């Protein structure tokens, strides 16, 4: 049973006691007749009013007590919580202190062990360093001797290289340059290709290529007209028989003369293309074009502009 319920029981008992006293004083059978005669209506009302006032006062005090009890209970609970919190904090602080002390002990033990290990390792390292330094000194001596030998060998090799280079260059100059070059080939369809040059030399990057100067070429067949070619330079591929004429190229075919910067012949596809600054001249007109394609099988010519947007320019005589 709580303190609040005990107070309420005491208040109820007081009220019952007051009511009993009033009853025995004013309503007992022996004094009933005397009181009835003595009391008046006014006195009864006054008594009743006083009784009500007392009851009201008791109820008010009961409420105040209840409120006071509730506040005290709340305060007690708060105090209890604060005490528990403080005790928990104290325990936590004590636990932290214990942990700190244990950590310090562990750290001290680790340091002692670590210092011993470090000392042993230092000694071992110093011994190894001394051995390594000795080996390094020996290696340096050997390296110096080896470098001297290498220097001497390099000098000998460089001398030999310079001598061999001079010999090779002399041989290349003799072998590489060929004068009055002439190549002749025939394809499966009977087209004959003849190539003449004042001089020629093998290409440095590709041995299959021959670089020619003052070049003249002839493509002829029994059925169709001959194509004549002349240029300052050309490149002939001995493996696939292809040729590339360049710089001041002049091509004569039937009544047409074609001037351009490049003219490539591909024997495998039987096609030839003239391009870069192409000018075609015949008895009636002069044309500027992007490229001219020759079909070596049929000897047909197709004239194309530089791109799809531009047109072939024709000037009639």
| Contact assessment for residue 178 and residue 201, using Cβ atoms and an 8 Å cutoff | yes
Per-residue pLDDT at 248: 96
Average pLDDT over residues 105-109: 84
CA–CA separation, 103 vs 126, rounded Å?
Answer: 33
User: Domain 178-316 belongs to what topology?
Assistant: lipopolysaccharide transport protein A fold (2.60.450)
Average pLDDT over residues 109-131: 82
Q: What is the mean pLDDT of the chain?
A: 81
Average pLDDT over residues 156-160: 83
Smallest Cα–Cα separation from 211: which of 184, 251, 243? 243
Cα of 204 vs its chain's centroid, Å: 44
Q: What are the distances in angstroms from CA 183 to CA 204, 237, 297?
A: 20, 11, 20
Higher pLDDT, 77 or 39: 77
Per-residue pLDDT at 284: 87
Average pLDDT over residues 95-108: 86
Percent of residues, the chain, with pLDDT higher than 90: 18
Higher pLDDT, 127 or 224: 127
| pLDDT range class, residue 314, cuts 50, 70, 90 | very low
Tokens at residue 297, please? 């099988």
Smallest Cα–Cα separation from 213: which of 192, 194, 235? 235
CA–CA separation, 213 vs 206, rounded Å?
Answer: 18
| pLDDT range class, residue 29, cuts 50, 70, 90 | low
pLDDT in tens, 79-101: 888 888 888 888 888 888 888 88
| Sign of the CA dihedral running 55, 60, 63, 64 | negative
Higher pLDDT, 67 or 29: 67
Residue listed under structure tokens 């192409």: 278
Cβ neighbours of residue 162 closer than 8 Å, sequence gap 6 or more: none
Give, as one character, the DSSP assignment of residue 196.
E
Residue 151 has pLDDT above 80, yes or no: yes
Higher pLDDT, 169 or 114: 114
């Amino acid at each position: 049973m709580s303190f609040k319920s005990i107070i309420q029981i005491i208040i109820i008992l007081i009220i019952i006691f007051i009511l009993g006293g009033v009853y025995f004083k004013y309503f007992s059978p022996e004094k009933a007749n005397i009181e009835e005669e003595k009391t008046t209506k006014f006195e009864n009302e006054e008594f009743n009013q006083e009784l009500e006032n007392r009851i009201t006062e008791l109820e008010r005090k009961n409420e105040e007590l209840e409120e006071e009890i509730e506040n005290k209970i709340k305060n007690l609970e708060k105090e209890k919580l604060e005490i528990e919190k403080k005790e928990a904090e104290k325990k936590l602080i004590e636990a932290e202190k214990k942990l700190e002390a244990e950590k310090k002990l562990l750290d001290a033990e680790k340091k002692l062990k670590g210092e011993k290990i470090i000392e042993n390792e230092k000694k071992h390292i110093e011994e190894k360093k001394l051995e390594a330094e000795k080996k390094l000194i020996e290696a340096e001596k050997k390296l110096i001797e080896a470098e001297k030998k290498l220097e001497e060998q390099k000098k000998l090799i460089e001398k030999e290289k310079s001598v061999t280079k001079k010999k090779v260059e002399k041989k290349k100059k003799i072998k590489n340059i060929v004068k009055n070059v002439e190549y002749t080939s025939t394809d499966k369809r009977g087209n004959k290709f003849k190539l003449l040059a004042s001089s020629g030399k093998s290409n440095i990057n590709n041995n299959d290529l021959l670089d020619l100067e003052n070049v003249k070429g002839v493509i002829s067949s029994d059925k169709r007209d001959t194509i004549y070619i002349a240029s300052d330079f050309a490149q002939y591929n001995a493996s696939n028989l292809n040729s590339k004429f360049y710089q001041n190229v002049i091509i004569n075919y039937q009544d047409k003369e074609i001037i351009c910067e490049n003219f490539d012949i591909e024997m495998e596809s039987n096609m030839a293309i003239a391009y870069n600054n192409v000018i075609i001249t015949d008895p009636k007109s002069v044309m500027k074009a992007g490229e001219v394609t020759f079909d070596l099988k049929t000897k047909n010519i197709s004239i194309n502009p530089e791109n799809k947007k531009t047109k072939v320019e024709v000037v009639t005589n």
